[in-house]
Structure 1
Amino acid sequence: RSNSCPQHSFHFSSFCSFHFIRLHPTTNNYCLAFPRRSHLLLSTFSTMVEQAQPTTTTASASTDEKPQLVKSLQDLTIIEHYDRGATKPKATTFFHITEDEELYFGETAKSKFDTTIEEFNQALERVPDEDVWPEILPGTQLSLAPEGLTEESAFLKRPEIISFHPGGSNNDMIPRSILRETLIMEQISRSPHPVFIRYLGCRVRRDRITAIWLERHDITLKDYVETPGFKNLDKGKFMDSIDSAVYHLHSLGLAHNDINPSNIMVKDDMLPVLIDFGSCQPFGYNLDSLGTVGWYEKPFFTSEKEHDTYGLKKLREWIKNPE
């Protein structure tokens, strides 16, 4: 009996005698020979053997193993951060959005090319929905985009997730900005103008807005001036169309606040489309952004029609001689 065998308070001699015999020829186990009518001893001995057997456990698979969310760099939005004058990044942050609109964030001290796919996957952590996707308030009427839309046929605009960082002081601006733009697009889609970008609806998951869908156009005015077609553009008609759109916006009590060549698309018929209503708000409302550098008269923090008046005037001058 080994030390692991439990103690029993009987004596084998009280029952009968037994002898070890030679090894079993096939199993290499010792066999015990018991006399007839020794079933009690056999039963007791079997109990002792069972209790003395070492216990074995099978290690279960790890339940906290992270899912392999990404298979290549194309599955990530990657930002490398550099110190001034440095040739190697001091840090790399990256994001992944699942098909169900779940956002994951990760960071590493390596460059993206020095980081393996396994390391990317291990670093990714789920971002709480409330940190990036705004909640739909009760009673809010929203136009839901068709589920069949693709980024080849339409433009998908998400919150500025690249601004997110765990514990960041400005994280609250991320869901607020996309909520504001969604509500503005809902409003102007009910009072449309042919120059306004066409709003196709918003995407909603888990009762939160995760993106808006817009009509897709190929080229901005800023880029169009570099093409051969620009010399044939009727600049007066083009600007009159933009003026008409902005004045219509003002009639709704709204200012765009970011009129510049990057926020105007050019259609195939060489007419304009006004885009990017992220800074558009009712007159007097506080803004999270203040327009594009070089396209405002002075820094501002509230929505005012004067910002658009200045932008339109400068645009008329610029389009005559783009710089």
Structure 2
Amino acid sequence: MRVDPCIGANIRSKKDLTSLCEVENIETGAFIRSTFTYIDDHDKAWFGQTKDIRKYDLTVQDLNRLLQRVPDERIYPLKTTTLSGEAKLLPQLLLQEAEVLQFLEQNPHPNIIRFHGCTVNRGRFTGIALDKHSVILQYRHEDVPHPLNIDACMRVIRAAVKHLHSFRLAHNDLNPTNIAIDGDDNPILLDFGSCRRFGERLLSGGTFSWIDEDYSTSAQCHDELAMVKIEAWLLSEAQEKH
């Protein structure tokens, strides 16, 4: 597939990356490779990986050397593709998430992220426009000085998930990185890329270390188990802080 000529990703800091993670052997925990992604100001996507350098040891020079442009057609559906239309795997994931968010915007809940439509660049859907929140539950204890009311937080999460389930939709990837915290400490559910109706086949589901097994179909029990884990994690974080 042809990629537009370009001078390179040209990032200035690791903070510019969209993601930076390590792949490990699920049985032994042994390091396999570091992977990283970057979306530039023109919605051009970049991907890099290395088997030789751990993620914390990667320099900006390493990242710029290893990042390679991902062709638009690999990840972005054409603007002429309808939300319910056919698309290849990665573009299809974007379209399916937009379709779910569009449905939820028509059936809103105050603790589910607001959807404002899709962004378009170079004749393709390149992203999803959502409300922006600066604090994520995963880092809430680091970013906000006062303690979180865990009971209140979980009560709101359960209410938002109950709203999803009332439409026979399961999130299938609930974890602290997929929950934002607004200025009043209210949780907001994010990342609906794995959200499907009960029983539907999943192209992706769950986040490693937050699931007990790989998910192949959408199910209410995935969210119920996730909420138990999230509450246990919050209690553990609170105890460590004190």
Kindly tell me the number of residue pairs found equivalent between the two proteins.
215
Cα distance in 1 for partners of 2:211, 2:195 equals: 15
- The question of whether the paired residues in 1 share the 8 Å contact of 2:173 and 2:223 is answered with yes
TM-score (norm 2): 0.69
In the superposition, relative to structure 1, how do residues 248 and 81 fare at CA in structure 2: closer, same or farther (>3 Å)? closer
RMSD over equivalenced CA pairs, Å: 4.0
- Residue aligning to 2:78: 135
In the superposition, relative to structure 1, how do residues 222 and 208 fare at CA in structure 2: closer, same or farther (>3 Å)? same
Question: What is the deviation of 1:124?
Answer: 9.3
In the superposition, relative to structure 1, how do residues 139 and 271 fare at CA in structure 2: closer, same or farther (>3 Å)? closer
Structure 1 residue 302 and structure 2 residue 217: aligned? yes
Which amino acid in 1 is paired with 2:130? Answer: L
Q: Secondary structure at the match of 2:127?
A: strand
TM-score (norm 1): 0.53
Which amino acid in 2 is paired with 1:269? Answer: D
Structure 1 residue 215 and structure 2 residue 215: aligned? no
Please list every run of 5 or more consecutive structure 1 residues that lacks an aligned counterpart in the other structure. Answer: 1-65, 85-89, 142-171
- The question of whether the paired residues in 1 share the 8 Å contact of 2:83 and 2:96 is answered with no
**Which protein is richer in strand relative to its size?**
2
Please list every run of 5 or more consecutive structure 2 residues that lacks an aligned counterpart in the other structure. Answer: 26-32, 53-57
In the superposition, relative to structure 1, how do residues 318 and 209 fare at CA in structure 2: closer, same or farther (>3 Å)? same
- The question of whether the paired residues in 2 share the 8 Å contact of 1:80 and 1:112 is answered with no
Of all paired residues, the percent bearing the same amino acid is 33
Q: Secondary structure at the match of 1:316?
A: helix
Cα distance in 2 for partners of 1:79, 1:316 equals: 26
Question: What is the deviation of 1:224?
Answer: 1.6
Larger radius of gyration: 1
Q: Which of 202, 212, 216 in structure 1 is aligned with 2:118?
A: 202
1:153-232 equivalences under 5 Å are 172-226=88-142, 227-230=144-147
In the superposition, relative to structure 1, how do residues 129 and 293 fare at CA in structure 2: closer, same or farther (>3 Å)? closer
Q: Which of 176, 180, 205 in structure 2 is aligned with 1:265?
A: 180
Cα distance in 2 for partners of 1:317, 1:105 equals: 34
Residues 230-255 of structure 1, C-alpha deviations (whole Å, 9 max, x = no match): 2xx33222211111100100112210
- The question of whether the paired residues in 1 share the 8 Å contact of 2:111 and 2:157 is answered with yes
- The question of whether the paired residues in 2 share the 8 Å contact of 1:92 and 1:112 is answered with no
Question: What is the deviation of 1:267?
Answer: 1.6
**Which protein is richer in helix relative to its size?**
2
In the superposition, relative to structure 1, how do residues 239 and 311 fare at CA in structure 2: closer, same or farther (>3 Å)? same
Question: What is the deviation of 1:297?
Answer: 3.4
1:1-323 equivalences under 5 Å are 68=7, 73=12, 97=40, 99=42, 101=43, 128-136=71-79, 140=83, 172-226=88-142, 227-230=144-147, 233-322=148-237
- The question of whether the paired residues in 2 share the 8 Å contact of 1:201 and 1:212 is answered with yes
